[in-house]
Structure 1
């Protein structure tokens, strides 16, 4: 069952990536991030209110938001800092690079998760899983060659390093999620609500120094419907992802790989919507990434 939940998470993540490209285009990254996290917080807030007023309504469905000790709040705040840093780097890269370059590099995230799952959680890969992961990495290298034809030098472009950093931090957060869900036994709505709360507060502090004092930046900001859509789609995807992680048999290395199937939406549909270059040439490494994911699922 957890694999099907992972595929549902991938579906909403793919739609989330498309909206994110539209939301950040021509906009400052920080207010867009703040808008998306605030929308996500508002999306899950009714569960918090209901948990305070009538928790017996939500408890049978596992949707109640539980009381937490101070130490656990601190651990969730750490996750917020990790993901906020990852998002800031990813949004900046997405603003300056084609989505058909950014998304495949992000697809290398399962490789970092894969290594962490072996070292930290002692998850045991099979030969097919190794083959699948190396196929994904090889396909990403293939994308770098195509990227050069779009004027993107993968060794000198700072936004390439930004998206690599975002990918590493995102993978670290994925490993941390398994600890929060399985070892601390947090239910998904509790983790989502407090994660959104702390991330919104941290971004508000960042905006207080980088955006609110500058009238020209505020005047240049354009609100788009995709900004709240990004937050809602992300929280919907996270719910299915966290539900999958609640299964004791769920392997974070496989879940991370399953989530990469979002690239089918982001690269194919996104490439058409945003009319980016070299779409046909990108189909070959895209097929390699897809085959790598398939091998992991098949194994």
Structure 2
């Protein structure tokens, strides 16, 4: 992109510099492409686990259960780092002491992501997975659209073509969706997924500010963000408990326990891949979007969703658009 910040969020080379000890002890020394593919695989399974969690279930209760599991995993790291930081086996697991301003910034991220997840989980409950996941995969498209007016950035010719292809894939999905009674321009759950995706794109930009502009460590952001999500999700749960639990009861499912750990693993793989000095964020971002293929295939196979061929063409168009967005550097 040109103008403003000359870097594209998905098309630039970004090095997240960790110490040699961080890189060598977090995960086995694996190729960053392999780590990116593993992250995409885990993200695909994560999408399936979310669908199984919310299908016919009370979304506010599922959300609170999910984020509580994530907080339960992260809280011991906070305590351990405060009591005996030198005994941590891996430096990357250390959680530093933060200022009130830094805590406020991370809490703002939790509010942003909490809103995105709320819209996404409600949409995922009512939409076929083979439609919901590809919509979510258009996040880079929304990131660029946001960057144009607010950050003064200008897409390259390739990125303009990519935007057109992504829009084309999105339009084709609307045509296929009509066969299943889903009208993209009127269906509120499609609207919820689009809102969730836009909020997710905003979160990605905010992450860039926290991690690069402000120089916050990924572990600090990830751990405290997981804790603050519980606070953010509590009001929605309380509202459901007082008003709607009789109408929309909560059913406990063991798959709920897997959602947060899967996301934490996917993020750990992602951060480790980006930490490689030779890693290209454009390639990593594109490979991670391949998670939609897994969710799409499972949605067709496990949930008996229809129109495989037509949807596959739409998914391919969106992935091509995302690839061109990522690689369309100035």
TM-score grouping bracket, smaller chain normalisation: 0.7 to 0.9
User: Which residue does 1:83 correspond to in 2?
Assistant: 113
Does the CA-based 8 Å contact 2:81-2:95 persist in structure 1? Answer: yes
Give the superposition deviation at 1:285. Answer: 1.3
8 Å contact kept, 2:75–2:227: no
Q: Does 1:274 align with 2:303?
A: yes
Name the residue aligned to 1:115: 145
Question: Structure 1 residues 141 and 291, CA, compared in 2 at 3 Å: closer, same or farther?
Answer: same
Which residue is equivalent to 1:188?
218
Separation in structure 1 between the aligned mates of residue 316 and residue 251 of structure 2, nearest angstrom: 36
Partners in 2 of 1:177 and 1:93 — Cα distance? 24
1:134 to 147, 164, 169: 164
Q: Distance in 1 between matches of 2:151 and 2:276?
A: 15
Structure 2 counterpart of 1:25:
55
2-structure distance, mates of 1:44, 1:215: 29
Give distance in 1, aligned partners of 2:154 and 2:278. 13
Pairing 1:236–2:265 present: yes
Q: 1:137 to 1:4 in 2, by over 3 A?
A: farther
Does structure 1 conserve the Cα–Cα contact (< 8 Å) formed by 2:282 and 2:327? Answer: no
Instruction: Map Cα deviations across residues 49-107 of structure 1 (whole Å, 9 max, x no partner).
Output: 32123212338632201111001111111111111111111111111111111111112
Deviations 1:132-170 (CA, angstroms, capped at 9, x unpaired): 443223212111100000001112111111111111101
SS in 1 for 2:115: helix
C-alpha separation between the residues in 2 aligned to 1:75 and 1:7? Answer: 30
Is 1:38 paired with 2:86? no
1:287 counterpart = 2:310: no
Shift in Å, 1:255: 5.3
Which residue is equivalent to 1:176? 206
| Distance of aligned partners of 1:203 and 1:298 in 2 relative to their CA distance in 1, 3 Å threshold | closer
Post-superposition offset of 1:259: 2.8
CA deviations over 1:176-220 (Å, ceiling 9, x no partner):
0111111222222211111111110121232223215666268x2
The 1:111–1:290 alpha-carbon spacing in structure 2 relative to 1, beyond 3 Å, is closer
Match 1:69 to one of 96, 99, 102? 99
| CA distance in 2 between partners of 1:77 and 1:177 (Å) | 12
Larger mean CA deviation between 106-115 and 94-103 belongs to 106-115
TM-score by length of 1: 0.88
SS at match of 2:186: coil
Q: Give the helix-richer structure, 1 or 2.
A: 1
Counterparts of 1:252 and 1:175, CA distance in 2 = 14
**Unaligned runs of at least 5 residues, structure 2:** 1-30
TM value normalised by structure 2: 0.80
Structure 1 range deviating more: 191-200 or 107-116? 107-116
Q: Show structure 1 runs of 5+ residues with no match.
A: none
